[in-house]
């Protein structure tokens, strides 16, 4: 099977920031300070589908009253917010550690930054990951990495930087997830099923980071889920980390949509109110919860801001690629998605049941050209399959996939798929090139 792939200190002392404003001297050997990779996917989807739902429960005076109202209220979100699209800048905070191994939040930078566009009519959610090392001019502060903006003067300074320097449209609201909320939130919803893309083993006592995960479908608790997204000790670095953030978005939507999540709402209410800072009023969150309750993984579209690597003031940074970035920002933040079927949101497993050598690989290549996210290729249990079959828990999605395959009359079956949205068993009716 192949898978697609110390000296104690009385007061916290933050390290000096490296920017063009100050050229840093050669660093002396010292323990590494880690960046706490918050589960940014929870930040987005929990807020839209879960956090706002908890606000709704709080607003209605309890779970019983909330559930009694869910099926009869369908607010017009465009009237509630006075616009068709709602743009939110989402930031997850970094962690700072002193030499005495104590955590502090003074001048905390944003470890994660996600530009989010919610279409209040089609209910589609578009997300662009902004790399934290992107080099920009921060208003009233000077040049630095974009993750410094919130530390300089709070969320609105970060918004101003993204709008002015990266040519994003105006944001309506911000959300900031506090340190260590991620682990608690994942634990509160009973964990998360994640198809771990590779085995991961890494220990960093200084950074409070211990990651030990095996490749394959795993049920992760809060600490493990944070570790999966936080891991960046491979050639991909932050780029791989951001890709895994986007991967978990779909997994999180599925978990939040599970009916059993209702039993966790009381604990989620406290977590959300204590750990998420936002300028969106609770009454609007209440209506947003009602209006967005039908969100599915295929309605969440993710991308990454195009950047190029470079150097400034002796340090490695990233620069936005304006030519490549312009169409991405326009598509995700301005135009948005209409609700039409989007292959990139579908995770596909391809198994060869035909006995024809290379059939699964060939089909996977075809699907990738069509825009699908192929997460696994392998042999089926038997090679006696005559007709190609698409299986998935959602008949509409499975049917859309079947219509796009290069053979007629593909069979569609309804059933669970571990580690993916659909499974394709390639039959003898497929002629691999």
% of residues, the chain, pLDDT over 90: 35
> Looking at per-residue confidence, does 358 or 271 come out higher?
358
pTM score, whole prediction: 0.65
Could you tell me the pLDDT band of residue 2, with boundaries at 50, 70 and 90? very low
> Looking at per-residue confidence, does 390 or 97 come out higher?
390
Name 276's bridge partners.
Answer: 177
Average pLDDT over residues 113-125: 91
> Looking at per-residue confidence, does 427 or 210 come out higher?
427
Question: Can you give the pLDDT at residue 380?
Answer: 95
> Looking at per-residue confidence, does 26 or 100 come out higher?
100
Give the Cα separation of 399 and 333 in Å (integer).
29
Q: For the chain, what is the mean pLDDT?
A: 76
Q: At what angle do helices 222-230 and 181-188 cross, to 10 degrees?
A: 130
CA dihedral 103, 155, 334, 142 (to 10 degrees): -100
Question: Can you give the pLDDT at residue 43?
Answer: 44
Q: Is the pLDDT of residue 135 over 60?
A: yes
Q: Are residues 35 and 94 in contact, defined by beta-carbon separation less than 8 angstroms? A: yes
> Looking at per-residue confidence, does 88 or 277 come out higher?
88
Average pLDDT over residues 70-81: 73
Residue ranges covered by each domain of the chain = 32-335, 343-426
Question: Can you give the pLDDT at residue 200?
Answer: 87
Give the Cα separation of 231 and 240 in Å (integer).
8
> Looking at per-residue confidence, does 107 or 412 come out higher?
412
Q: Which residues of 249-270 are buried (b: 16+ CB within 10 A; e: fewer)?
A: bbbbbbbbbeeebeebbeebbe
Could you tell me the pLDDT band of residue 201, with boundaries at 50, 70 and 90? confident
Name 134's bridge partners.
Answer: 318
Question: Can you give the pLDDT at residue 128?
Answer: 92
Give the Cα separation of 296 and 286 in Å (integer).
19
Pairing label, strands 216-220, 192-196: antiparallel
Could you tell me the pLDDT band of residue 11, with boundaries at 50, 70 and 90? very low
Compute how many other C-beta atoms are within 10 angstroms of the C-beta atom of residue 289: 24
Q: Which residue has the tokens 């209006």?
A: 291
Give the Å distances, CA to CA, from 206 to 30, 33, 98, 140, 234.
10, 7, 9, 33, 19
Q: Are residues 301 and 127 in contact, defined by beta-carbon separation less than 8 angstroms? A: yes
Q: Are residues 201 and 211 in contact, defined by beta-carbon separation less than 8 angstroms? A: yes
Q: Is the pLDDT of residue 253 over 50?
A: yes
At the top level of CATH, the class of 343-426 is alpha beta
Q: Do the domains 343-426 and 32-335 match in fold? A: no
Q: Which residue has the tokens 């009694």?
A: 68
Give tens-digit pLDDT for 154-181: 899 999 999 999 999 999 999 887 756 6
Average pLDDT over residues 290-312: 83
Q: Are residues 290 and 74 in contact, defined by beta-carbon separation less than 8 angstroms? A: yes
CATH fold group of domain 32-335: Aminopeptidase (3.40.630)
Question: Can you give the pLDDT at residue 42?
Answer: 43
- Residue 77 contacts by C-beta under 8 Å, 6 or more apart in sequence? 86, 120, 121, 287, 288, 291, 292
> Looking at per-residue confidence, does 62 or 386 come out higher?
386
Q: Is the pLDDT of residue 146 over 70?
A: yes
Give the Å distances, CA to CA, from 369 to 331, 362, 363, 366, 373.
20, 11, 10, 5, 10
Question: Can you give the pLDDT at residue 20?
Answer: 36
Could you tell me the pLDDT band of residue 337, with boundaries at 50, 70 and 90? confident
Residue of 116, 121, 115 lying closest to 83 (CA atoms)? 121
Q: Are residues 183 and 223 in contact, defined by beta-carbon separation less than 8 angstroms? A: yes
Q: Is the pLDDT of residue 207 over 80?
A: no
Q: Which residue has the tokens 């840093």?
A: 24
């Amino acid at each position: 099977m192949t898978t697609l792939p110390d000296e104690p200190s009385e007061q916290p002392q933050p390290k000096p920031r490296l920017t063009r404003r100050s050229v840093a001297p050669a660093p002396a050997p010292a323990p590494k300070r880690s960046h706490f990779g918050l589960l940014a996917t929870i930040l987005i989807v929990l807020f839209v589908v879960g956090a706002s739902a908890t606000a709704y429960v709080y607003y209605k005076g309890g779970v019983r009253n909330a559930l009694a109202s869910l099926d009869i209220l369908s607010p017009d979100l465009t009237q509630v917010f006075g616009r068709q699209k709602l743009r939110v800048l989402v930031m997850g905070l970094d962690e700072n550690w002193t030499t005495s191994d104590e955590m502090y939040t003074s001048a905390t930078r944003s470890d994660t930054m996600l530009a989010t566009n919610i279409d209040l009519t089609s209910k589609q959610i578009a997300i662009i990951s902004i790399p934290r090392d992107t080099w920009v001019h921060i208003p009233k502060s000077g040049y630095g990495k974009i993750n410094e903006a919130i530390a300089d003067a709070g969320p609105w300074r970060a918004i101003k930087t993204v709008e002015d320097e990266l040519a994003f449209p105006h944001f309506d609201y911000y959300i900031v997830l506090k340190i260590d909320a991620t682990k608690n939130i994942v634990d509160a919803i009973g964990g998360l099923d994640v198809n771990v893309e590779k085995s991961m083993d890494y220990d960093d006592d200084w950074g409070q980071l211990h990651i030990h995960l095996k490749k394959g479908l795993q049920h992760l608790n809060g600490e493990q889920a944070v570790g999966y997204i936080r891991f960046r000790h491979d050639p991909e670095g932050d780029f791989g980390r951001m890709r895994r953030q986007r991967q978990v978005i779909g997994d999180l939507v599925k978990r939040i949509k599970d009916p059993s999540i209702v039993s966790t709402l009381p604990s989620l209410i406290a977590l959300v109110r204590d750990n998420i800072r936002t300028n969106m009023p609770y009454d609007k969150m209440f209506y947003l919860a009602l209006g967005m309750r039908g969100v599915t993984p295929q309605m969440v579209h993710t991308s990454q801001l195009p950047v190029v690597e470079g150097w400034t003031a002796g340090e490695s940074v990233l620069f936005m690629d304006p030519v490549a970035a312009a169409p991405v920002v326009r598509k995700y933040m301005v135009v948005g998605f209409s609700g039409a079927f989007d292959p990139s949101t579908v995770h596909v497993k391809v198994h060869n049941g035909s006995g024809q050598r290379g059939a699964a690989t060939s089909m996977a290549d075809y699907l990738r050209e069509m825009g699908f996210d192929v997460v696994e290729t392998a042999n089926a249990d038997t090679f006696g399959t005559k007709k190609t079959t698409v299986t998935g828990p959602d008949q509409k999605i499975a049917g859309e996939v079947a219509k796009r395959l290069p053979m007629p009359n593909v069979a569609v079956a309804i059933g669970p798929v571990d580690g993916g949205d659909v499974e394709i068993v390639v039959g003898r009716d497929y002629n691999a090139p």
